[in-house]
Structure 1
Amino acid sequence: MWAQTLSGPFRFEQVEVAAPDPAALTPGHVLLATRAGALCGSDLPNFRGGLWPHPAAEDGWGATRAPGFPMHEIVGEVVASRHPDHSPGDLVVGWASMFDGIAELVVTDGDGLAGYDAGLPATTAVMLQPLACVLYAAEQLGDVTGQAVAVIGQGPIGLLFSSVLKARGASRVTGVDPVDRSDVARVFGVDETVTARAERWAGRLSDADRPSVVVEAVGHQISTLQPALDAVAPGGQVFYFGVPDDRVYPFDMMTFLRKNLTLRSGVTLERRRVLADAGAYLAEHPGLRDCYVTHVRPVAEVEAAFTAAISPRPGQLKIAVDMG
């Protein structure tokens, strides 16, 4: 089968590797023929040459040169299954559990997959995976009805947070990003677009304007956690969603203490449930379908897709890869 593999920083090459043996599937796993994938911010440090920082689920530390790495947001057709809820021919969306989704065939944990509306193109359906992550995170914040919220980072994840928190009853959603996202603010439920760095925004807030909830949706660096702590109202919540590249972050404990804050974070659990919830959410908010995935590249151009993703710009949100 074909697979794309990182041959060095900023460089992919297509290789031929042995296809997985359906007879070798372990209980709970499925073999997928991939149809589409999408780039997540957590894939980009590896493209730049960074070390894989997270323990792989099944066999220790992941390998940055493994065929198909790095991609976990996938859509595919079930070829073989040892999971009770997935059968050959099913169309599914979710996680490539070994982050090896840039390949013709992928073995993955069936608990991270769910069916989707077959009327959706695969390159649109792939958005259900990040949407599921955001829905699960938003649940952890509890009832936000009537509260002012702010989302630092208005890329593909941050805009989904803006949409979901508005739909969950937030009275006002502020989106903060140095990249101008005013063209899509309305469809994602953003009431106020702040085109500036988070530090400048936080430093200019009056006490009356402080949000009760701040979501940090940037990740990968340490500079945007402090503005979240500075901006949030006393007694408020900060949700750190972005994946950390650094194991240890400097943390302003005095501000955290004096403002009686709550800091939340975490990975997505109950994946099949929230993938189903994501399908229902997209059906209720059909306007997201046409504006979330802004660019689709064929898999032969996956290197160009990653190169584009590391440079956020107006008009560019989620980048999908067509595996056909």
Structure 2
Amino acid sequence: MPHAPHAPRTTTAIVAHGAGDLRVETVTVRAPAPHEAVVSVAYGGICGSDLHYWRHGAVGESVLRAPMVLGHEVVGTVLRPAADGSGPAEGTPVAVHPATHEPTTVRFPGDRPNLSPGVRYLGSAARFPHTEGAFAGEVVLPAAMLRALPPGTDLVAAALAEPAAVAWHAVAQAGDLTGRRVLVVGSGPIGALAVAVAARAGAGEIVAVDLHDRPRRIAAEAGATRTLDAADTEAVAAVDADVVIESSGNHRGLASAIRGATRGGTVVMVGLPPLGDQPVQVAYAITRELRLVGSFRFNDEIDEVIAALADGSLAVGPVVTHTFPAAEAHRAFAVAADASVSGKVLLAF
């Protein structure tokens, strides 16, 4: 008798079907191409973009047109290495760089591939068909995305490698922080990680700002020398910071960042506000000759982050506040959406 064909492998995944429609589903694990590896996912961090797809069915102009697996902040172990021999070997613990690059005719600086419109990001509806994410028990990923973790690296800490790389890139936009006074506006996960990165970079003083007490406490544990209530705009304006990292992503935060910067200072804008005009007193930036700098995602900074996590010089532990089994994704997303009670929320697969 002929042998029956092998049944396709399946795994549990977190899938967004539309606004308010998040499902824990069983999905098929597709067969990998020669340059792809199969990764057993250990943890996935819930990002603001994941929350937007869940709550609104869109992130800005990236609108869900079909069900999509969420997630781009993941760590795990190589279950099946790439058949072409590229990438880490079986059993290697890995973090994931979620970007791939496709050719484009649009101009961008060659040394800054994060600015290329040809970038595809895991768990993104920017294009159709959508780029599936990695919130699943097993995922098939290009081996080039995988970053081997040094022996002994804590997987929970490594789950923050991707957002920490966003913060690392943002802090680097300001230049040398040695001995400088840094103001971080918005102490959610990216802001708290920016505090940790700034502390590692030798900042002399770090003032963290948020509307809620819990994020301010997390920022203090991550390295902030003092914290302020965002509602106290006069106190924020009086900080007189050499460098400001704006990570709140709203116009009020940006206004506070501009007012809180010293004359001739630098404001790095990493928080992404909604599309459209933003009411901000730009006159302050002009008359004080502020340097306003955008910061978008990252390039290879994730490699530096992984090294810093491995040697213990980047302390991200306080930023993780909750871990939920993947089966409790609805509860996890609800907690992650409440900035007053949570920092980074992880899903355990």
Please, what TM-score do these two structures have when normalized by structure 1? 0.83
Counterpart secondary structure, 2:75: strand
Does residue 1:288 correspond to 2:290, yes or no? no
Q: In the alignment, which residue of structure 1 is the partner of 2:174?
A: 141
CA distance in 2, matches of 1:64, 1:43: 15
Displacement of 1:123 after TM fit? Answer: 3.1
Distance 1:109 1:266, change over 3 A: farther
> What is the CA–CA distance in structure 2 between the aligned matches of 1:156 and 1:138, rounded to whole Å?
14
CA contact (8 A) 1:217 1:242 kept: yes
User: What secondary structure, in the 3-state scheme, does the structure 2 residue paired with 1:37 have?
Assistant: strand
Preserved contact between residue 116 and residue 276 of structure 1 (Cα < 8 Å): no
What is the aligned partner in structure 2 of residue 309 from structure 1?
Answer: 336
Q: Contact 1:309–1:319 at 8 Å: present in 2 too?
A: yes
Q: State the Cα RMSD in Å.
A: 2.6
Any conservation in 1 of the 2:197–2:314 contact (CA below 8 Å)? Answer: no
* 1:8 Cα deviation from its structure 2 partner: 4.0
Select which of 184, 192, 197 maps to 2:231: 197
1:319 aligns with 2:345: yes
Is contact 1:7-1:65 (8 Å) kept? Answer: yes
Change (3 A) 1:237 1:289: closer
Change (3 A) 1:113 1:242: farther
Report the equivalent of 1:241. Answer: 270
Partner SS, residue 134 of structure 1: helix
Do the aligned partners of 1:3 and 1:14 also contact (CA within 8 Å) in 2?
yes
Contact 2:152–2:310 at 8 Å: present in 1 too? no
The counterpart of 2:261, out of the listed 232, 235, 248, is: 232
Matched-pair contact (CA < 8 Å) for 1:30–1:83: no
Task: Summarize deviations over 1:57-95 as a string: whole Å, max 9, x none.
Answer: xxxx674643422x1100122324257333333221124
Of 325, 329, 332, which residue of structure 2 is paired with 1:298?
325
> Could you say which residue in structure 2 is the equivalent of 1:85?
87
How many Å separate the matches in 1 of 2:144 and 2:212? 36
Could you tell me how far apart the structure 1 residues matched to 2:142 and 2:248 are? 27
- 1:67-78 aligned at under 5 Å gives the runs 67-69=68-70, 71-78=71-78
Kept after mapping to 2: 8 A contact 1:199/1:224: no
5+ residue gaps, structure 1: 55-60
Mapped pair 1:214 → 2:215: no
Pairing partner for 1:39 from 14, 28, 46: 46
> Residues 14 and 283 of structure 1: is their aligned pair in 2 closer, same or farther, counting only changes over 3 Å?
closer
Residue 297 of structure 2 corresponds to which residue in structure 1? Answer: 268
Distance, in Å, in 1 between the alignment partners of 2:265 and 2:140 is 42
Secondary structure in structure 2 of the residue aligned to 1:223:
helix
Counterparts of residues 12-51 of structure 1 (less than 5 Å): 12-22=22-32, 24=33, 27=35, 29-51=36-58
In terms of Rg, which structure is larger? 2
SS of equivalent to 2:338? coil
Partners of 1:36 and 1:123 within 8 A in 2 = yes
Cα-to-partner distance string for 1:198-241 (whole Å, 9 max, x where unaligned): 745435x2xxx41011111122x333111111211111111111
Name the amino acid aligned to 2:322: H
Q: Any conservation in 1 of the 2:18–2:57 contact (CA below 8 Å)?
A: no
Contact 1:5 1:65 in 2 (8 A): no
The separation in 2 between residues aligned to 1:148 and 1:90, in whole angstroms, is 40
Matched residue SS, 1:32: strand
Kindly indicate whether residue 149 of structure 2 is the aligned counterpart of residue 123 of structure 1.
no
Partners of 2:144 and 2:255 in 1: CA distance: 35
Q: Find the residue that maps to 1:75 and give its secondary structure.
A: strand
Distance 1:232-1:189 versus aligned 2 partners, 3 A rule: same
Q: How far apart are the structure 2 equivalents of 1:266 and 1:18? A: 36
Gaps spanning 5+ residues in structure 2: where? 1-9, 99-120, 124-132
Distance (whole Å) between structure 1 residues aligned to residue 45 and residue 336 of structure 2: 10
Q: Contact between 2:222 and 2:318, CA under 8 Å: does it hold in 1?
A: no
User: Matched residues in 1 for 2:41 and 2:275: separation?
Assistant: 32
Aligned length: 305
Are 1:123 and 1:321, in contact at CA under 8 Å, matched by a contact in 2?
A: no
